[in-house]
Structure 1
Amino acid sequence: MSTHRNLANELARRFTKLMGGEATSGILLIVVAVLAMAAANSPLADLYHGVFHHRLTGSPIARLDSLHAWINDALMAIFFFVVGLEIKREVLDGELSSPARRRLPVLAAAAGMATPAIVYLATAGLAEPAQRGWAIPAATDIAFAVGVLGLLGRRVPASLRLFLLTVAIVDDLGAVVVIALFYTAHIELGWAMAAVAILGALVTCGRMRIAYTSVYILLGLALWFCVLNSGIHATIAGVLLAFTIPLRPLRGDSMALRLEHALVPWNSYVIVPIFGFANAGVALAGSGLSGLFQPVPLGIALGLFLGKQAGIFAAIVASDKLGFAPRPAGASWIQLWGMAVLCGIGFTMSLFIGALAFPQHPLLVEEAKLGVLAGSLLSSLLGYAILRLPPPAAH
């Protein structure tokens, strides 16, 4: 167990050093968001939208009839595959591997998903279709939040960084469950049964300790295709596949760790930036920033900026004071508040859920993007400012 854990740590250390530190991916996402907004509000706007949404007549898969669909349904399946590998590693061999370790992160993540949803519904209302966006402000973007922490360097204690990562991973698992349960409109039973059969074959391969990565990749592609045609969002296949990949060493090699660390650079520096550029561009013409005060974008922005920090920070305080689980060692209450504020950076997963929430209402999708960008920007600026404050004097 310690062998593959040390291997993972060494690979992560080398990768971080190679890419110039953990702030790099967060900075890249900021640049991508700015470029997308600039493109959507420039003379290139028609070209920008045309590239991603123009119908692809020669697409080999009928359901993926645009570049935007290929990005959101195929490329993002790889993103969710890596998320699934991270969740599995943490649950079996990481910060979520024991009840004592997972109490506070799970409680904080649950409160950090429920409170933004309540704030959103209180602002946007319960009427259709607006109420379908309740889950948009419930997600935290790991790359963005950790990127901001990276800019702060040693001002942030290691325990706080680890806690934020753990909360964000639990948050991602919650978002996956939400997508599967609440954003699946209709299920094609035949395709769903075929997906279950393939998933069973993958589980069997894991139990038989089959060590050939190609077997899992081929079955994983078949699983993705069946899930895509079943009506369940195709990215769920990425998570299900990840859960079947062996973590324990096979022939001295941990397949899950090897795949995770091979794909992390592609996730951080290719897949997520492409997704961000394709989805973050929102036209401000006609509404300007005043459009932010419409019910949907305002509910999302307030959910991310106020709901996230309120839910997570309140959960930490209550847990510590009631003796349920102590707060992270070495972190002051001010620093914990700053960390909770940073969890309001929603970018990748929030944009993704926004597209799922309003498939028949493109105007609401654009409004949701504006709310996500506004709430994430406010959270990053305030969180950074709080964590820049000098640590309290030791007594």
Structure 2
Amino acid sequence: MELQHTTTKLFKDFFESEKSSGLVLIGCTVISLVLANSVFGSTYLHFWHTNLGGQPIEYWINDGLMTIFFLLIGLELEREVYKGELSNIKKALLPIFGAIGGMLVPAALYLSFNYGTNTQSGAGIPMATDIAFALGILSLLGNRVPTSLKIFLTALAVIDDLGAILVIAVFYTKALFWDNLLIALGIFGFLLILNRLKVRNLIPYLIGGVIMWYFMLHSGVHATITGVLLAFAIPFGNGNKESTSYILQHFLHKPVAFIILPVFALANTAIVLSSNMGEVLVQHYSIGIALGLIVGKPLGIFALSFLAVKLGICNLPSDLNWKSIIGVGFLGGIGFTMSIFVTLLAFDDATIINNAKFIILLSSLAAGTIGFFSLKLTLKRKPQTFQ
């Protein structure tokens, strides 16, 4: 009973922090766009490229701070697997199939416009879902949202993030330096041994994580992967409030939601809007991203979820219907953080990166708006109770 209460409380804390974080991210994005296109634009852009320890500030945010974000994702995924929605395979299959469809269909749509071109590497961009933004929009619908729909979207987005992590590790690793990679994996193995020996003190794991990050950074594999590996090395135990995993996950929620992600948004949405944005909209990569997020996401999530239920592989919760799954599918099209992150890995051309970010913002706004009004029309308002 205590463990169930702990899990429920942690999910509630997670949902509340993601909801608030989504609203903060919107504010940071607007501020960043306004500053980038104001008289202070050049100063603002130059700030993020200021040298700090031999690298620009933007680099430390994207390769350093975002590792902590991936650590939190890993801890959330670990909890889902051991004690959450993904611990029951029958319940887990619905969001798993939804997430798979929500990754494959957008990537296929993107490639249908970009295969064989110099922008085909952007196929991973529309595969991502931004948990904070998606849950932030869902929270605006108040008490009419069934808990099972919140859980479905959360589980789907976490699986989606795992998929994005695998895509980054496999497809966006340009050159491997095996000596550094083997050292990083050796440290990971040592941390797993500490886990098996039931060492619960966080300090050796955090020190090992920093050293592993350094060698992963110089291995060719993106350093943020370290965060996920570290998460699965940290002892989960029975998942209660005293467990090492719970303590770290609980501690990281607010710093990630209200410091790391907003800073990432400020640094990476400094998009300079040019007068030829009409031309940007018809570029093959722009069409691929837009169709992937606005059409591919809801289509893929609905299609594979529907297929899995009709084949008897899993069940649709009794308080949900297919209209609500489609609505949540559109919320899955809010790419933002992860889509921008993949953009930075996919392209080298600064102009394409700038334009792709702009399309991600437009597409995420469109998908989020459609999802919100779709759910508002289909979800029944719960009657008010008066004392």
Structures share a fold, TM > 0.5?
A: yes
Q: 2:331 aligns with which of 323, 326, 342?
A: 342
Residue 166 of structure 1: aligned partner: 155
Pairwise CA distance, 1:334: 1.6
CA distance in structure 2 between the aligned counterparts of 1:187 and 1:11, rounded to whole angstroms:
38
Per-residue Cα deviation, 1:147-185 (whole angstroms, up to 9, x for no partner): 011110112211111101011011010000000000010
Moved more, 210-219 or 331-340: 331-340
Q: How does 1:146-225 map onto structure 2 within 5 Å?
A: 146-225=135-214
Q: What TM-score do the two structures reach when normalised by structure 2?
A: 0.94
CA distance in structure 2 between the aligned counterparts of 1:354 and 1:348, rounded to whole angstroms:
10
For structure 1, the 5+ residue unaligned runs are: none
> SS at the partner of 1:329?
coil
Query: How many residues get paired?
Result: 381
| C-alpha contact 2:239 2:246 (8 A) present in aligned 1 | no
2:78 aligned with 1:78? no
Name the aligned partner's letter for residue 307 of structure 1. Answer: G
Name the aligned partner's letter for residue 93 of structure 1. Answer: K
2:8 aligned with 1:9? yes
Name the aligned partner's letter for residue 367 of structure 1. Answer: N
> SS at the partner of 1:134?
helix
CA distance in structure 1 between the aligned counterparts of 2:42 and 2:110, rounded to whole angstroms:
32
Name the aligned partner's letter for residue 51 of structure 2. Answer: R
CA distance in structure 2 between the aligned counterparts of 1:251 and 1:241, rounded to whole angstroms:
19
CA distance in structure 2 between the aligned counterparts of 1:354 and 1:37, rounded to whole angstroms:
18
Moved more, 263-272 or 322-331: 322-331
Pairwise CA distance, 1:390: 4.8
CA distance in structure 1 between the aligned counterparts of 2:341 and 2:31, rounded to whole angstroms:
18
| C-alpha contact 1:206 1:246 (8 A) present in aligned 2 | yes
Name the aligned partner's letter for residue 353 of structure 2. Answer: V
Name the aligned partner's letter for residue 273 of structure 1. Answer: P
Identity across the alignment (%): 39
Residue 238 of structure 1: aligned partner: 227
Q: 1:255 aligns with which of 244, 257, 261?
A: 244
Q: 2:369 aligns with which of 357, 381, 386?
A: 381
Pairwise CA distance, 1:347: 0.6
2:95 aligned with 1:105? yes
Pairwise CA distance, 1:11: 5.1
The 1:36/1:289 distance shift into structure 2, 3 A limit, reads farther
Name the aligned partner's letter for residue 55 of structure 1. Answer: N
CA distance in structure 2 between the aligned counterparts of 1:14 and 1:189, rounded to whole angstroms:
40
| C-alpha contact 2:15 2:135 (8 A) present in aligned 1 | no
Name the aligned partner's letter for residue 200 of structure 2. Answer: A
Pairwise CA distance, 1:5: 4.4
Name the aligned partner's letter for residue 172 of structure 1. Answer: D
| C-alpha contact 1:249 1:255 (8 A) present in aligned 2 | no
Residue 362 of structure 1: aligned partner: 350
Pairwise CA distance, 1:286: 3.3
The 1:301/1:215 distance shift into structure 2, 3 A limit, reads same
The 1:264/1:288 distance shift into structure 2, 3 A limit, reads same
The 1:178/1:14 distance shift into structure 2, 3 A limit, reads closer
The 1:298/1:105 distance shift into structure 2, 3 A limit, reads same
| C-alpha contact 2:36 2:45 (8 A) present in aligned 1 | yes
The 1:180/1:43 distance shift into structure 2, 3 A limit, reads same
Pairwise CA distance, 1:296: 1.2
Runs ≥4 in structure 1, deviation > 3 angstroms? 2-5, 8-17, 249-252, 390-393
Residue 24 of structure 1: aligned partner: 20
Pairwise CA distance, 1:103: 1.4
CA distance in structure 2 between the aligned counterparts of 1:194 and 1:39, rounded to whole angstroms:
42
The 1:191/1:180 distance shift into structure 2, 3 A limit, reads same
Residue 90 of structure 1: aligned partner: 80
Name the aligned partner's letter for residue 177 of structure 1. Answer: L
Name the aligned partner's letter for residue 7 of structure 1. Answer: T
Pairwise CA distance, 1:23: 3.1
Pairwise CA distance, 1:128: 3.8
The 1:298/1:39 distance shift into structure 2, 3 A limit, reads farther
> SS at the partner of 2:298?
helix
> SS at the partner of 1:135?
helix
CA distance in structure 1 between the aligned counterparts of 2:126 and 2:13, rounded to whole angstroms:
33
> SS at the partner of 2:365?
helix
2:39 aligned with 1:39? no
Moved more, 150-159 or 326-335: 326-335
Pairwise CA distance, 1:290: 4.2
Moved more, 194-203 or 40-49: 40-49
For structure 2, the 5+ residue unaligned runs are: 382-387
Per-residue Cα deviation, 1:221-271 (whole angstroms, up to 9, x for no partner): 111111011111010001100010111159982110110011011111111
| C-alpha contact 1:332 1:392 (8 A) present in aligned 2 | no
Name the aligned partner's letter for residue 383 of structure 1. Answer: G
CA distance in structure 2 between the aligned counterparts of 1:342 and 1:250, rounded to whole angstroms:
30
Pairwise CA distance, 1:368: 1.3
Residue 45 of structure 2: aligned partner: 49
Residue 116 of structure 1: aligned partner: 106
CA RMSD of aligned residues (A): 1.9
